[in-house]
Amino acid sequence: MRAVTIRDGQIVVAEHPDPEPQDGQLLVRVRAAGLNGADMMQLAGRYPPPAGVPADIPGLELAGEVVACGRRAERFEVGDRVMGIVAGGGQAELAVIHERTAMPVPEELDWTAAGGVPEVFTTAHDALFTQAGLTVGERLLVHGAAGGVGMAAVQLGVMAGARVTATVRDDHAREQIGALGVQALEPQGFAECGPFDVILELVGAPNLAENLQALAIGGRICVIGVGAGATTEIDLRALMGKRARIHGSTLRARSLEEKAITARLVEKMVLPGFASGDLSVPVAATFPLEEAPQAYERFRAGKKLGKVVLEMPA
Ligand SMILES: NC(=O)c1ccc[n+]([C@@H]2O[C@H](COP(=O)([O-])OP(=O)(O)OC[C@H]3O[C@@H](n4cnc5c(N)ncnc54)[C@H](OP(=O)(O)O)[C@@H]3O)[C@@H](O)[C@H]2O)c1
């Protein structure tokens, strides 16, 4: 099979042996695979994949058809359309995924859209609802809202009945997010528009002190992305005074059990939103597998609304 391959710090497309499904795994003919910030970090040598995952084939999410089932894999059959999160190896013509982290592709989603769902909608759902306990009527602030996770979080917040504010630094992307009916702000001076019950931090440390100012009593800050910086100084008196919580999370390092729980929650709480029309998958750009280097360049260039997705040959 051919796969996106990290070779000497560069992205190339190269031949690899076909993977074989182990117990509980599905072998999937990948039709689409989204790019994520973690792929960029892995390429830069700053995010090595966990043991047992191909070190040179990136890709944390995929959508495709089941072509074989490993022993004791019973949730899906050959020919089923599945999508899900993998710990690596997703950007390939063939990939394996554990059946418990795989989800059915809703019929409303084409392959391209499905390839951009798993990582960002799972991350956003887990952060907002499982970790931060966002509820109806609360005020949600999403920083870095034009990216894949941000667009998912904005839509999930609206669907759940939260009052959503988004910070977006690109003018054009800000206008488009405002058109979704949410308050869309430049990042500068966002605290004036608070207080917020939940702040989803997708940009990083430079926002943290102002996040504390902008937080409602009992508010929660969920740190998911630190692209703009990971260290900062905060006044702990502000944290105490707000009776606030700051917490962080990653998905990739979780156990199979924990990942399976996130997948079941997404199946139940998120996927119906595609059928009802509450959710969509904004796709900023698509590239065929052969143009993987250009896809990575497009992701790194920023100023995109939503996902960059690789499309595999049928
Ligand atoms: N912890 C986890 O489990 C987990 C899971 C998924 C993603 N993440 C992380 O979460 C972050 C968001 O992921 P994503 O997939 O949404 O990435 P993305 O599609 O690249 O979006 C990032 C967004 O943040 C904005 N941004 C970046 N730097 C900024 C800055 N200095 N000031 C203001 N805005 C800035 C970008 O704006 P521009 O377009 O203008 O650059 C973009 O809209 C990434 O850091 C990613 O690595 C973490």
Cis peptide before 19 (omega within 30 of 0): no
Buried b or exposed e, range 132-154, using 16+ CB within 10 angstroms: bebeeebbbbbbbbbbbbbbbbb
* Cβ of 249 below 6 Å from ligand 1: yes
Our mutation pick for probing the ligand 1 site, out of 224, 258, 297, 307, counting the most ligand atoms within 8 A of Cβ, is 224
* Cβ of 118 below 6 Å from ligand 1: no
- Taking the centre of ligand 1 as the mean of its atom positions, its distance from the CA of residue 253, in whole angstroms, is 19
Per-residue pLDDT, 271: 98
Reply yes or no on whether the pLDDT at 52 is more than 90.
no
What is the share, in percent, of the chain residues with pLDDT greater than 70?
Answer: 100
From atom 2 of ligand 1, which residue's Cα is the shortest distance away? 250
Reply yes or no on whether the pLDDT at 50 is more than 90.
no
- Taking the centre of ligand 1 as the mean of its atom positions, its distance from the CA of residue 302, in whole angstroms, is 9
Ligand 1: which atom is nearest the Cα of residue 148?
16
Mean pLDDT of the chain: 97
Per-residue pLDDT, 252: 87
* Cβ of 229 below 6 Å from ligand 1: no
Ligand 1: which atom is nearest the Cα of residue 126?
3
* Cβ of 36 below 6 Å from ligand 1: yes
Per-residue pLDDT, 4: 98
* Cβ of 90 below 6 Å from ligand 1: no
From atom 9 of ligand 1, which residue's Cα is the shortest distance away? 225
In this structure, how many other beta carbons lie within 10 angstroms of the beta carbon of residue 235? 11
Q: How many CA atoms lie within 13 A of 99 on its CB side?
A: 20
pLDDT band for position 48 (cuts 50, 70, 90): confident
In this structure, how many other beta carbons lie within 10 angstroms of the beta carbon of residue 102? 27
* Cβ of 158 below 6 Å from ligand 1: no
Per-residue pLDDT, 288: 98
Reply yes or no on whether the pLDDT at 191 is more than 90.
yes
Taking only the tens place, the pLDDT of each residue in 217-248 is: 999 999 999 999 999 999 999 999 999 999 99
Do 64 and 28 form a contact (C-beta atoms < 8 A)?
Answer: yes
Residue 284 corresponds to which tokens in the numbers above? 């900023």
Per-residue pLDDT, 45: 92
Reply yes or no on whether the pLDDT at 49 is more than 90.
no
Reply yes or no on whether the pLDDT at 253 is more than 90.
no
At a CB cut-off of 8 Å and minimum separation 6, what does 218 contact?
A: 197, 242, 243, 244
Q: How far apart are the C-alpha atoms of 145 and 120, rounded to whole Å?
A: 12
Q: How far apart are the C-alpha atoms of 70 and 88, rounded to whole Å?
A: 18
Reply yes or no on whether the pLDDT at 314 is more than 90.
no
Per-residue pLDDT, 224: 98
Reply yes or no on whether the pLDDT at 89 is more than 90.
yes
Residue 14 corresponds to which tokens in the numbers above? 């190269």
* Cβ of 35 below 6 Å from ligand 1: no
Our mutation pick for probing the ligand 1 site, out of 40, 149, 305, counting the most ligand atoms within 8 A of Cβ, is 149
Do 112 and 26 form a contact (C-beta atoms < 8 A)?
Answer: no
* Cβ of 19 below 6 Å from ligand 1: no
Taking only the tens place, the pLDDT of each residue in 64-82 is: 999 999 999 999 999 999 9
3-state secondary structure the chain: CEEEEEECCEEEEEECCCCCCCCCEEEEEEEEEECCHHHHHHHCCCCCCCCCCCCCCCCCEEEEEEEEECCCCCCCCCCCEEEEECCCCCCECEEEEECCCEEECCCCCCHHHHHCCHHHHHHHHHHHHHHCCCCCCCEEEEECCCCHHHHHHHHHHHHCCCEEEEECCCHHHHHHHHCCCCEEECCCCHHHHCCEEEEEECCCHHHHHHHHHHEEEEEEEEECCCCCCCCCCCCHHHHHHCCCEEEECCCCCCCHHHHHHHHHHHHHHHCHHHHHCCCCCCEEEEEEHHHHHHHHHHHHHCCCCCEEEEECCC
* Cβ of 53 below 6 Å from ligand 1: no
* Cβ of 169 below 6 Å from ligand 1: yes
Over residues 273-302, mean pLDDT:
97
Taking only the tens place, the pLDDT of each residue in 97-144 is: 999 999 999 999 999 999 999 999 999 999 999 999 999 999 999 999
Over residues 278-289, mean pLDDT:
97
